[in-house]
Chains A and B, each alone.
Chain A
């Protein structure tokens, strides 16, 4: 089904693999790329669940028109799976401490305070 609002094609993907374990997502992406004649980096698959007893796996697939649209609309964790996004490595605690340090200062000094104290 094509979702013109989000510039993509979205579908439920059924993989039948009797006698094998669940297929890797990269392999599924290659197959979809061949089927829909789209570059594999615009294809995002997720949510695969194998039925009880094995042999069949069901998941979801999205094929974007361009990589730019993909970067715009996909959630960050899925982009991170493809290496298109890097999460900031700051921990939650560090972020909160920085915020509290900034609270003590007024105006443009906030940026300086945050960086300076973090280097300590």
Chain B
């Protein structure tokens, strides 16, 4: 009986051992990986290597230039060598991690018949008119016409001329080294029209690791995907002034053409309003010498804030807003002049704040008060007003001529690429630093799209297609911003290690202790059984 009982307990012991081993196997082999996988943060795969490769991207900005020689511009034997292509490549020395090279690809050729005709016209304007009607040039490309040394197309002392529509005219020379000399002149003309170091430095100003203290020289208008422009007429004294302004006509005539030209770079929307009983926050001082009122230069910064809350412009859209205010001072404070730092009245009677907009003071003509009784009807001279507003709106030198628009596109493309690269790199860095940010699949696809767009933009820039390069760079910026600012990227709330232990220990410890103890017991017993044969021997 005892033997049968002993055999039964042996069997049970063996079964018990097997059961413990199975439990342990399931827990360790199945449970542990399952727990690990289900508690990790989901990260869709991202092209980290390509993102770091973007930083070392070599940007080649190619400007295709056609250099067209007329009959007597260069010696005959030089003319025989046409057509051929010369490439002039220059590295832009900016302290930026992306290397930028400017490549001017000059295709030298002889004139065609209609070009020869046009260039033998009397004046340069006629020549340009005739040339313009026959060809349309792609964005970013330039044409330089080389005329003879003694041609009368240009005034005698003028060696080169830069036209408004991507063309330039340069004088040729009858010399042995004609091509070299003319090559230099062409490069000078072309560089003035397209890419210089200043343009690129300004575009990349936010990304260059320079001293912060030249920040004031940065471009006043940060490039954004769109702007909202608001024109406001402030009439603090409607009892005395009945002010009318033809803002719709003025916008249509003067502002809209400029915005249409810039429309390729972003969305611009314009609106206008009239505010009554809106005063400036600063009291003007009376100047007995000129019997007028003035606003001193140091009080100007305090004018904007009290007025801004009345403008109500921030409710409308998410684009940055530019406000242009026209202030008609009250009768008691007329005429009102703005003084500069030296105390002299400013000719334009206007001031502006970068990235905010501008304010102009419009004084009513004193003659209007003579005849009629109050309120006096005031018709605002929109031309004078728009001259000032456009000067405030337009950062220097943008958008006047076609090649200036091209220059804007070059600058914006480079800036967009820099911004997109920085955004993607920051995202990769953040994901490395903060381990519990989730990356969903659609965010990952945005990142892939952004990377592809950056690479495509770089390719298009290298082959000289400015329009498609700019479009690709815009897409790169929008995709990268969308990926970075996706609401799902909020890092999961941080759990310090002791809290993690506090959560898991009550779950795992009661289960783990019996398993571990039985494993230890099994191990000790099997060690004993290995040692037994030695003992008996």
Q: Do the two shown chains form a genuine complex with each other?
A: no
